[in-house]
Amino acid sequence: MLRRAVPLLALAGATLAIAACGGGSGSTSTGASLPSGCEQVSKPPPQHRQLKKPKQTVTRGEKLTATVDTSCGRFEIQLDTSSSPKTVNSFAYLSKKGLYDDTTFNRIVPHFVIQGGDPLQNGSGGPGYSVVETPPQNATYQMGTVAMAKTAVAPRGQSGSQFFVVTAADAGLPPNYAILGKVLSGMNVVKRIGTLGDPASGDLGTPLATVVIRRISVSGG
């Protein structure tokens, strides 16, 4: 049974709601009590990015790890180059280009997902291109799974720059979202971020406080 059937990339109406609740560029956290390990930070300004689609440089089976430095700590992702080389290639390219630097987790749904990677900071942005890598029909989205967000009308496996990390035991999502990898370490940081969503906002996942992705770096081995 599906736990949620909503798209993981904000549509226009949801974007307005998130933007209205999140404050404008340069705004600070909303005043919510931050958990230990989180710093109070200002919301970065939106960035309009239009990048060219990258050439495929990641090889299938290559061992790659992404390190995600945030204002609530650091976590690492074991990137799934065996099943998703195109998706990983795009993510690594965007990381190298600095697209993720000073972006926020714009959607935080407690006990479901945390979502970030939007240079516009409101859930509607992307890198200026998309890739498609259809996940297998038996794909599941369990705790620690990292996958790419898309709208409900986009093809299965399409992605831009936005990604989500599952904080539920099982998100119950259909196999529509390209799988980027799995949290390798720092799941406690992911859960910490996951406490900062407003339960009253439902699947909109309005953050109670700003959590900034300072940098994502991808390394081999």
With H, G, I as helix, E, B as strand and everything else as coil, classify residue 131.
Answer: strand
**Cβ atoms of residues 88 and 64 within 8 Å:** yes
Model confidence at 114: pLDDT above 70:
yes
Tell me the pLDDT band of 18, cut-offs 50, 70 and 90: very low
As a whole number, the mean pLDDT across the chain is: 88
- Indicate the domain borders of the chain: 12-23+62-220
What is the reported pTM? 0.89
Model confidence at 147: pLDDT above 80:
yes
Chain segment 81-101, per-residue pLDDT in tens? 999 999 999 999 999 999 999
**54 vs 129: CA distance, rounded Å:** 9
Supply the pLDDT for residue 28.
Answer: 40
CA 28 to mean position of chain CA atoms = 21
Tell me phi and psi for residue 69, to 5 degrees.
Answer: -95, 125
Supply the pLDDT for residue 3.
Answer: 46
Chain segment 21-75, per-residue pLDDT in tens? 233 333 344 456 899 999 999 999 999 999 999 999 999 999 999 999 999 999 9
Give the pLDDT mean for 117-122: 96
Strand partners of residue 66: 77, 218
Distances (CA, A) of 8 to 103, 124, 165: 17, 11, 11
Tell me the pLDDT band of 20, cut-offs 50, 70 and 90: very low
The superfamily in CATH containing domain 12-23+62-220 is Cyclophilin-like (2.40.100.10)
Give the pLDDT mean for 119-130: 95
